[in-house]
Structure 1
Amino acid sequence: MSTQGRRGNTRQRIQDVALELFSERGYEKTSLREIAEQLEVTKAALYYHFKTKEDLVISLFQDLTGPIDELIAWAGEQPRTLETKQEVIRRYSEALRSAGPFFRFLQENQAAVRDLSIGEGFKERMLTLFDLLKEPESELTDQVRCITALFSMHAGMFAMQHVEGDPEEKRKAILEVATELVTAANPPSRRPARPDSAQTASP
């Protein structure tokens, strides 16, 4: 394995163990020393990758938000059709596929997260996705459906941990519900006309 490969693997192990400890003991009560001890590495080895706990959390946040930022950029260039919105939800589900432990950390450490720089950044991305899913003049109930579609994916991952079943099947079930909500929020009567609607409109 290359030096870079080993380095990447160590970084991932640090993140995994840190998330586990942050969720079990709390962000404030977990020290870098405890993370190093759990990993059976020296504190210096940990410092090579992360200087502070906040650096560690920011790295986790960036790993999650990179794909979300790519999704937002892609969606911004697409026509605002129902198909685009359904694809946004599908791709968001993919981006969240391995983010369960990170959402557990956010859930268990809400007060600490508010004081970290990541809190506002995540909120801004959620509002952007919400805007991409709803129509500008949509009714309040449809706006609720769109925001619920997003949060059902977060809450679903957290709540469904305790439900028996294959993780991938559970993810698909959550995605199905979220897609239904977005579809219901964009009924045919209120969808914008497609550029080629004159040619393809059915009687």
Structure 2
Amino acid sequence: MQHETRARDTKAEIHRAALELFSVQGYEKTSLREIAEQVGITKASLYYHYSSKQDLLRAIIGTFFDDINRVLELVDTLPWSAETERELLAAYLDVVIKHRDTGPTLLRDIAAVLAAFGDDLDDLIRRSRSFQVWLAGPDPSPRDRVLSAAAVEVIGAALSAGMDPSELSDADLRDHLLDAATAILALRQRHPTTSP
């Protein structure tokens, strides 16, 4: 049992080192040898956990995909209400903040991510769009859909701004982003679209 715990710790260290190197140097320019050296293990030890760099990338980003898909799947089962809207936005934020170190890798090396995930990425994009439509509320107008897309995008924009995590706790960041997203969504009620 203790060996399994050590293996999980080593994997976490590998993930952290890989993300750090991928975000600084890029996926293509980072070698498995560099990742192994940063963790303090041999390249052979790294190969024990991951058979290739793409396998490692899939493991790192795959956990984000799994977590975010669990949240996005709720759209199919939860009826929209103001309460469920805030709950689902909060759950979405929890995942995005938990995986915020993965973001720079996704953005910087989109070609590598596409090669590693392909259909999974297409599915994530489809689910994200369904989430935005759900956030727009029942019978949304085009304006409502734009506002719901803006509410989701403000989260990504704020997280990609390069703020040092030591400047703001995860809890404070979550509260501020939830307030910002719900403020954008509240514009739906203040300025309803009128038909000509």
Q: Which category of TM-score, normalised to the shorter sequence, fits these structures?
A: 0.7 to 0.9
Deviation string for 1:135-160 (max 9, x for gaps)? Answer: 46422222111112112112211215
List runs of 5+ in structure 1 lacking aligned partners. Answer: 191-203
Cα distance change on mapping 1:106 and 1:186 into 2, 3 Å? farther
> Is the 8 Å Cα contact of residues 160 and 170 (structure 1) preserved in structure 2?
no
Instruction: Report what 2:58 is aligned to.
Output: 58
Moved over 3 A (4+): 162-165, 185-190
Distance (whole Å) between structure 2 residues aligned to residue 98 and residue 126 of structure 1: 18
Query: What amino acid does structure 2 have at the position aligned with 1:9?
Result: D
Deviation string for 1:108-157 (max 9, x for gaps)? Answer: 22343333315434323322322321246422222111112112112211
Cα distance change on mapping 1:164 and 1:61 into 2, 3 Å? closer
The share of aligned pairs that are identical, in percent, is 29
Cα distance change on mapping 1:64 and 1:185 into 2, 3 Å? farther
Cα distance change on mapping 1:91 and 1:35 into 2, 3 Å? same
Cα distance change on mapping 1:93 and 1:186 into 2, 3 Å? farther
List runs of 5+ in structure 2 lacking aligned partners. Answer: none
Q: Which moved more, 1:71-80 or 1:145-154?
A: 71-80
The within-5 A match list for 1:27-106 is 27-106=27-106
Cα distance change on mapping 1:187 and 1:156 into 2, 3 Å? same
> Is the 8 Å Cα contact of residues 149 and 178 (structure 1) preserved in structure 2?
yes
**CA deviation after TM superposition for structure 1 residue 7, in Å:** 0.9
Query: What amino acid does structure 1 have at the position aligned with 2:24?
Result: E
TM-score between the two structures when normalised by the length of structure 1: 0.81
Does 2:116 match 1:116? yes
The within-5 A match list for 1:1-203 is 2-117=2-117, 119-135=121-137, 137-159=139-161, 161=163, 165-168=167-170, 169-185=172-188
Deviation string for 1:156-196 (max 9, x for gaps)? Answer: 11215159832332332112101222333366979xxxxxx
> Is the 8 Å Cα contact of residues 82 and 186 (structure 1) preserved in structure 2?
no
Cα distance change on mapping 1:152 and 1:101 into 2, 3 Å? same
Distance (whole Å) between structure 1 residues aligned to residue 147 and residue 178 of structure 2: 14
Distance (whole Å) between structure 2 residues aligned to residue 99 and residue 158 of structure 1: 12
> Is the 8 Å Cα contact of residues 86 and 183 (structure 1) preserved in structure 2?
no
CA RMSD of aligned residues (A): 2.5
Cα distance change on mapping 1:72 and 1:30 into 2, 3 Å? same
Aligned residues: 190
Query: What amino acid does structure 2 have at the position aligned with 1:112?
Result: A
Distance (whole Å) between structure 2 residues aligned to residue 160 and residue 77 of structure 1: 35
